[in-house]
Amino acid sequence: MHGNGTAASSAAPSGSGSLAGAHSVEEILETHIKDPEQLREVQRVLYGFNCGHPVVPLQLPKESLAAASAASRPFDFRGYAFAAAPEELRPPRVVRIGLVQNAVVAPTTAPFAEQRQAIWDRVCEIVNTAGAAGVKILCLQEAWTMPFAFCTREKHWCEFAESAESGPTTALLQPLARRWGMVVVSPILERDGAHGDTIWNTAVVIGNNGNVIGKHRKNHIPRVGDFNESTYYMEGDMGHPVFETAYGRIAVNICYGRHHPLNWMGFGLNGAEIVFNPSATVGELSEPMWPIEARNAAIANSYYVAAINRVGTEHFPREFTSGDGKPAHKDFGHFYGSSYVAAPDASRTPALARDGDGLLVADCDLNLCRQLKDKWGFRMTARYPLYSDLLAAYTRPDYAPQIIRDPSL
Amino acid sequence: MHGNGTAASSAAPSGSGSLAGAHSVEEILETHIKDPEQLREVQRVLYGFNCGHPVVPLQLPKESLAAASAASRPFDFRGYAFAAAPEELRPPRVVRIGLVQNAVVAPTTAPFAEQRQAIWDRVCEIVNTAGAAGVKILCLQEAWTMPFAFCTREKHWCEFAESAESGPTTALLQPLARRWGMVVVSPILERDGAHGDTIWNTAVVIGNNGNVIGKHRKNHIPRVGDFNESTYYMEGDMGHPVFETAYGRIAVNICYGRHHPLNWMGFGLNGAEIVFNPSATVGELSEPMWPIEARNAAIANSYYVAAINRVGTEHFPREFTSGDGKPAHKDFGHFYGSSYVAAPDASRTPALARDGDGLLVADCDLNLCRQLKDKWGFRMTARYPLYSDLLAAYTRPDYAPQIIRDPSL
């Protein structure tokens, strides 16, 4: 909602993917609303207050600003800090998290090894900047090593799939995690060699010592718009794991799972304090949902949500159709970036740029989660047995909805 | 997001309860964002588009404008229309709904009969305006016949409770429902004489022929801020009923239930196409949640949500405390109104005034619900059996959360 004076650089101005020339909604609001009291009210109602004021910008370490400046191309690099009330019996538990959004680098017609290497190189610049910024838990975007080619239904893109535990991308990130003492969440296309070369959409969680802590497979698979992703992979079979890392209990809700309140609930029931939502979604399809769903999940489940979206428009070599009556085409629209962090007190950070790569850093005092649980009591008042019974009944084929018909009709 | 040229009158300008002098966030955005393309982008991202553009204002019938003008005091009277795509096998199913927000009229020190009569009189003006506007389903605010006195913990306010089926408020509304052929949802404090004079927070659903179709009792009861409402009434015992009226299948999620995604889900599983959310909530407590939760419910459940909030500041005769460290006081803040309608396609109307009575009229094509179900497939991909199992396990005292601990720690 406020510019971040500590930004090393901003996304390159460009008509492509901008909001009528602006990088974000927040930039438009700040530029136009000249009355400071009215701006503050708009910030309060639409973006929430944390401890009585808009989420405050974070002073980023010099080393990280230098790293960002040394990158091959600029990216939107900003930080914010969420506070919690002081407690008597618990010290603050502030963890610095990072969110990465990035466009693909090489054209989708380039050899696959070249495409992947170019993305690896670019993202490693940002990962190292995050490390230099003191980030302790970093999350990359969904299927970050490749273009989001699932619209094409072409199977050769499966070549990008690799082992979660011993693939080259995990091997690339492990030394970086060790170097920076940083947990890294790496969402990739997984190939499970132990189960017949099956493909999954998977997030690998690498600990701060470089070991693979575990993985999570996308629970809900879209059949919408350009995507029936079940052309490539099916619903995850790993439940709702929460990873207990050196810096806090985290979970990963991959992309389309953000539309499912029950999926968010599952990670909450298992004790997550931060849920990352690595996504790949385009403007025409979902943009008005983007500022809503992550925040609702943070409120309802009393945890932080880090919402990450891919950025840019990806052009494919061969045309495909989208079931929308339009002619065959070679791209399906602009990934709108706009990554942000939502807190359990209904506050949020401004978004990263809609039109360029970015790294968002956020200090999150995890004490805020339990403070909000105590304040609002959503768990205590949730009546889980009522809903356990309801869902048990609903899943039976003969479920009779509870409908009261007007007897006078 | 756009002013409504057809408004009969707007809320009286006032510093009290305004947003730094403005009636709503949307008024601030429209006043300040002079660039029409950037305003449109802000509208698209923050308020959503319906059928390719912001929700359009509705031309209100002359008779209703005359009725509003003849009211004892002005109120914010506006209308909007949600459209759906044409279908080949189903005609459009447009239903005109209405939302009423109102302040109490007499001081809370007046005799109870006088307080109630003054509210009845005022609200009947608005109900009749709604009838003249062609509204077919109207919903009043939570506990609309009384001040929201549950902060006081004083038990004599229970006098306002009455029979849902045969109390004076139901008797008052039945002829109005018949006169206008209008379903009326009337949220009151209920006294259940057949079960030992128990008190409930209840919504009575009166059909367009004046008969009582049924009722719903508030499912989730807050213990937050100024309110432990369980001082007066407990969790509802009526499940998640959907009322099949002459104009569509509706349900009522009363107030605090809006924080519970499972409650919204319950009404959706039973087939609701419009869920009314009559509420009473104040700025300091919940205002940044208000634009989020109703919209998330509409998106996740593919139905319309009509979010209604009480308006004004209510002063009580005797002081009370709020458990927030502040001195005893006689009011607990401003009910911020801001009622609005959210659609399943992630679009929404602008809000009614933050600082005055109001009637919001919305045409809703119910075909949009199933269209969005087909487009996004949230039901199909919801994996209910997974969550039925999860909740069944979670409700057992020995539930072991699914936690994967970093083995290197």
Give pLDDT tens digits for B249-287: 999 999 999 999 999 999 999 999 999 999 999 988 899
CB-CB neighbors (< 8 A) of A249 in chain B = 403
d(CA A314, CA A16): 12
What's the Rg (C-alpha) of chain A? Answer: 21
- From first to last of its 409 residues, chain A has per-residue pLDDT tens of 333 433 333 433 344 899 999 999 999 999 999 999 999 999 999 999 999 999 999 999 999 999 999 999 999 999 999 999 999 999 999 999 999 999 999 999 999 999 999 999 999 999 999 999 999 999 999 999 999 999 999 999 999 999 999 999 999 999 999 999 999 999 999 999 999 999 999 999 999 999 999 999 999 999 998 889 999 999 999 999 999 999 999 999 999 999 999 999 999 999 999 999 999 999 888 999 999 999 999 999 999 999 999 999 999 999 999 888 889 999 989 999 999 999 999 999 999 999 999 999 999 999 999 999 999 999 999 999 999 999 999 999 999 999 999 999 9
Give residues 82 to 121 of A whose Cβ lies within 8 Å of B.
none
Give chain B's residues under pLDDT 70.
Answer: 1-15
Size of interface A-B (CB pairs under 8 A): 307
d(CA A60, CA A150): 37
Q: Say what the pLDDT of residue A315 is.
A: 97
Give the one of B224, B271, B293 whose C-beta lies nearest to A401's C-beta.
Answer: B271
A324: closest chain B residue by CA? B375
B401: closest chain A residue by CA? A270
Is residue A179 less than 8 Å (CB to CB) from chain B? no
Selected catalytic residue, list A218, A229, A273, A364? A218
Tokens of A78: 């900003």
Contact A220 B382 (CB under 8 A): yes
In percent, the amount of chain B with pLDDT more than 70 equals: 96
Is residue B396 less than 8 Å (CB to CB) from chain A? no
Is residue B352 less than 8 Å (CB to CB) from chain A? no
| Paired strand residues for B92 | none
Tokens of B120: 């009845």
B234: closest chain A residue by CA? A381
C-alpha atoms less than 13 angstroms from C-alpha of B146 in its C-beta half-sphere: 21
Give the one of B214, B377, B404 whose C-beta lies nearest to A224's C-beta.
Answer: B377
Is residue B324 less than 8 Å (CB to CB) from chain A? no
The CATH class of A25-394 is alpha beta
Tokens of B182: 């209008």
Is residue A17 less than 8 Å (CB to CB) from chain B? no
**Average pLDDT over chain A, rounded to an integer:** 95
- Cβ A250 vs Cβ A270: under 8 Å: no
CB-CB neighbors (< 8 A) of A388 in chain B = 388, 391-392, 394-395
CB-CB neighbors (< 8 A) of B391 in chain A = 384, 387-388, 391
Helix (H) / strand (E) element for A308: namely strand A304-309
Give residues 365 to 394 of A whose Cβ lies within 8 Å of B.
375-378, 380-388, 390-392, 394
Q: Say what the pLDDT of residue B10 is.
A: 40
Tokens of A367: 């004490």
- Total length of chain A: 409
CATH of B25-390, one of 3.30.930.10, 3.30.450.20, 3.40.50.11930, 3.60.110.10: 3.60.110.10
Query: Can you give the pTM of this predicted structure?
Result: 0.96
CB-CB neighbors (< 8 A) of A224 in chain B = 375-377
CB-CB neighbors (< 8 A) of A303 in chain B = none
Interface with chain B: mutation pick from A211, A390, A396, A399, highest number of B CBs within 10 Å? A390
Contact A270 B244 (CB under 8 A): no
Q: What is the dihedral of CA A134, A305, B256, A403, to 10 degrees?
A: -170
Is residue A271 less than 8 Å (CB to CB) from chain B? yes
B42: closest chain A residue by CA? A25
End-to-end CA distance of chain B: 52
| Paired strand residues for B57 | B80
CB-CB neighbors (< 8 A) of A205 in chain B = 404
Interface with chain A: mutation pick from B202, B253, B262, B396, highest number of A CBs within 10 Å? B262
d(CA B367, CA A316): 35
Q: Say what the pLDDT of residue B14 is.
A: 42
Domain boundaries along the sequence of chain A: 25-394
A283: closest chain B residue by CA? B45
Q: To the nearest whole angstrom, how far is the Cα of A285 from the nearest Cα of chain B?
A: 10
**Is A244 tagged catalytic?**
no
Selected catalytic residue, list B27, B142, B162, B293? B142
Tokens of B389: 């199992």
Contact B260 A290 (CB under 8 A): no
Using the Cα atoms of residue B177, residue B180, residue B182 and residue B186 in order, give the sign of their dihedral.
negative
Contact A49 B346 (CB under 8 A): no
Q: Amino acid letter at A291?
A: P
**Is B158 tagged catalytic?**
no
Give the one of A256, A346, A402 whose C-beta lies nearest to B240's C-beta.
Answer: A402
Is residue A274 less than 8 Å (CB to CB) from chain B? no
Which of B338, B308, B343, B360 lies closest to B130, judged by CA? B360
CB-CB neighbors (< 8 A) of A48 in chain B = 288
d(CA A229, CA A226): 9
Interface with chain A: mutation pick from B18, B23, B24, B32, highest number of A CBs within 10 Å? B32
Selected catalytic residue, list A142, A162, A190, A273? A142
Is residue A80 less than 8 Å (CB to CB) from chain B? no
DSSP-H helix ranges across A70-167? 112-132
Give residues 116 to 175 of B whose Cβ lies within 8 Å of A.
none
CB-CB neighbors (< 8 A) of A242 in chain B = 401-404
Cβ within 8 Å of residue B60, ≥6 positions away: B6, B8, B77, B78, B79, B133, B361
- What DSSP designation does B256 have? G
CB-CB neighbors (< 8 A) of B404 in chain A = 205, 213-214, 241-244
- What DSSP designation does B59 have? -
Q: Say what the pLDDT of residue B322 is.
A: 87
Q: Say what the pLDDT of residue B163 is.
A: 98
Q: To the nearest whole angstrom, how far is the Cα of B376 from the nearest Cα of chain A?
A: 5
Is residue B214 less than 8 Å (CB to CB) from chain A? yes
Contact B384 A394 (CB under 8 A): yes
Contact B246 A406 (CB under 8 A): yes
- Cβ B142 vs Cβ B172: under 8 Å: no
Give the one of B41, B291, B385 whose C-beta lies nearest to A20's C-beta.
Answer: B41
Is residue A72 less than 8 Å (CB to CB) from chain B? no
Q: In what order do the strands lie in the sheet with A248-252?
A: A340-342, A304-309, A274-279, A248-252, A242-245, B403-405
| Paired strand residues for B342 | B305, B348
**Is B255 tagged catalytic?**
yes
